[in-house]
A and B are shown apart, each in its own frame.
Chain A
Amino acid sequence: MNAFIPRNAIMLAIVAIVLLILIGSTFSIVPETKQGVVVRFGEPVYIVNAYKPNETFGNTGAGLYGRIPFTDQMVWIDKRIQSVEMERQQVLSTDQLRLQVDAFARYRITDPLRMYIAAGSEERVSDALKPILGSSLRNELGKRPFASLLSPERGEVMQNIETSLNRVARQYGAQVIDVRIKKADLPDGTPLQSAFERMRTARDQEARTIRAEGAKQAQLIRADADASAAKVYAAAYGQDPKFYDFYRAMQAYSTTFSPNARGQTSVILSADNDFLREFKGGR
């Protein structure tokens, strides 16, 4: 009796493992995020949980599926939106400007059967789309001047690329949802440096303009001040020019010959001088 137990346990374990393998190869849980192609001896037989537009989760084909064990194999294909990224590429615009462009496309496999026949695996779809994305991007951007990339026209460019990419994607059972340029930069080295140089000179120009404008404004302010001062003087002195002449001369003498003025002053007076008229005694 005692000797029987372990043997029984080992037997049970073996049976359980066999059963598990059998269940595992008979039933598949198809999640919402995946679609499956059931392949019998290399030939696709049917599709489970295929993508349909605008389906609500819970009413999709996801769930438990049974199949013939060992002969039927399930090939899983992602049902979600996936991304294909294009590596940095140099693109030449019509105005001979080089640009480094990064782009990405979002796609979804809508026809798993076609995808399985045409590509075999998901990686190969993305591998196939990558060069197409690059070349259609280059074609499209090569038809336009650089400036159009920096304008609302960009949307149209993307639309065209999406269309041409979709043409290829459809052959692989995929549908491109969106194409976008991530970066459009000037390449490192000379183009970037010259762009910096341009920015620098533009700033320099701006700085000089600002300074010159400031100087001009200052000049105007000074001129205005001079003019208004002249006006004030003229209004006052114009009342009696002769008196002004005398008045101003007196001021000038006292400033010029004052002991505080620079230098020494010696005066040689003639006796005929008006100041000395009385000096001679009542004549």
Chain B
Amino acid sequence: MTLVERWRRGSRLAMNENSPWGGSGGSDGGGRGGGNSGGGNGPRNPWSRPSGEEPPGRDPRGPSAVEELIRRARTIFGDGLPGGPDGRTIWVYVALGVAAIWLATTCVHRIGPQERGIVTFFGSFSRTLTPGIGLTLPEPLESVKVIDVEEIRVVDIGSTGDAEKLVLTGDQNIIDLAYSVRWNVKNSELYAFQIADPDKTIAEVAESAMRAVIATVTLNEALGAGRTGIEENVRARMQEILDGYRAGVSVQGVAIKQADPPDAVNDAFKEVSAAQQTAQTYLNEARAYAQQLNSKAQGEAAAFDKVYVQYKLAPEVTRRRMYYETMEQVLSGIDKTIVEANGVTPYLPLSEVNRRPQPARPEVEAQP
């Protein structure tokens, strides 16, 4: 039987027996510890007895638990305690020990660099502990509440996974809004004593301020360009309201994470941007046409100018030359039929014409 097992057995027994000392925590442990170490492994110590040798009196159904307890207490305390046979001494030690622990835990407070400690003397605010080690009177007299003043806390409001947060804008449209508020404690006393539920208050104030601000802007502002202004407005408004409550809170910033049209109308909004693209396409096409046309006109005009300059130098010759060159070019590549006799009805070799594969273009008589 190891020592641990013995300890376990002991505590289980004590519980079974509803020991009146069981409730007084530390003293119970201390008393038993002292008894055990003092008794050593002497044969009279009941704890060291092997389990097989347990007398029938140890059976829970045996003599009454109280009697058993008294008997055991007598055995323990009567057996070689360091302070002699007087059992009271141990209680004094235990009490002193508990008091020392009590004082150590409730008088000395370690306040981190980002924290402040609110000290209340019988409930009345007495002072604020600054970072470092702070000393106070023990617990029932003075108590300390530590508040983190530097930590930026974030409240998220709006669609993060769950349902949409629909907000009405000034032009009676609806947007789906998600935003977060960053805040920290400005004045730890006010924060501790002034508001019943600071976190909920901040969330509610944020929502109210955001809706009030959104209600003054148009949909387009809320969706795009106006965001920075909205964020700043909400922050200022929140700060104003919270200062009105004397909440001791400083709103560091409001960030709109998402400002979208609601899902139900999102397609229509996409349609608008599609229309913008289409309009841009129209413009691009028109500009391309304009460029093309301009260049063509300029080119043709310039060509004409150049030819005309030459033409003016020798009009008749140039004219004839151009005529012949053109006719030559035109007539060289195509079928020609020449009807010479003046008084003869011309015979058109229609079969010749028709021989050509369809569709044939109608014959044209070339005239200068």
A interface with B by C-beta (< 8 Å)? 2-3, 5-6, 9-10, 13, 29-33, 57-58, 60, 62-64, 78-83, 104, 106, 146-147, 149-152, 154, 177-178, 180-186, 192-193, 195-196, 199-200, 202-204, 206-208, 210-211, 213-215, 217-222, 224-226, 228-230, 232-233, 235-237, 239-240, 243-244, 246-247, 250, 253-254, 257-259, 263-276, 279
Complex Cα distance, B39 from A157, in Å, reads 82
Q: Which residues of B contact A (CB under 8 A)?
A: 20-21, 69-70, 73-74, 77-78, 87-88, 91, 120-127, 140, 166, 168-170, 172-174, 189-190, 192-197, 200-201, 204-205, 207-208, 211-212, 215-216, 219, 241, 244-245, 247, 261-262, 264-265, 267-269, 271-272, 274-276, 278-283, 285-287, 289-291, 293-294, 296-298, 300-302, 304-305, 307-308, 311-312, 315, 319, 322-324, 326-327, 329-331, 333-342, 346, 348, 353, 356-357, 359-361, 363-368
B20:A200 contact, CB within 8 angstroms:
no
With known contacts A32-B124, A62-B124, A275–B20 Cβ distance under 8 A: no
Do A208 and B338 contact each other (CB < 8 Å), given the known contacts A83-B200, A217-B283?
A: no
> Which secondary structure characterizes the binding site on chain B?
helix
Is A81 touching B363 in the complex (CB atoms < 8 A)? no
Contact A2 to B78, CB < 8 A, known contacts A62-B125, A64-B122, A81-B195: yes
- Determine if A177 and B170 form an interchain contact, defined as CB atoms under 8 angstroms apart: no
Task: Please determine whether B265 and A196 come into contact, CB atoms closer than 8 angstroms.
Answer: yes
A218 & B264 in contact (Cβ 8 Å cutoff)? no
Q: Can you list 24 residue pairs at the A/B interface with Cβ under 8 Å?
A: A2-B77, A5-B77, A9-B91, A32-B192, A57-B125, A58-B127, A62-B120, A80-B194, A81-B247, A106-B201, A106-B245, A151-B215, A151-B216, A203-B269, A203-B272, A206-B272, A221-B283, A247-B304, A268-B363, A269-B338, A269-B339, A270-B339, A271-B339, A274-B367
Partner of A232, one of B120, B301, B342: B301
Q: Which of the listed residues B126, B275, B336 has the most CB atoms from chain A within 10 Å of its own CB? A: B275
B38 to chain A, nearest CB (A): 16
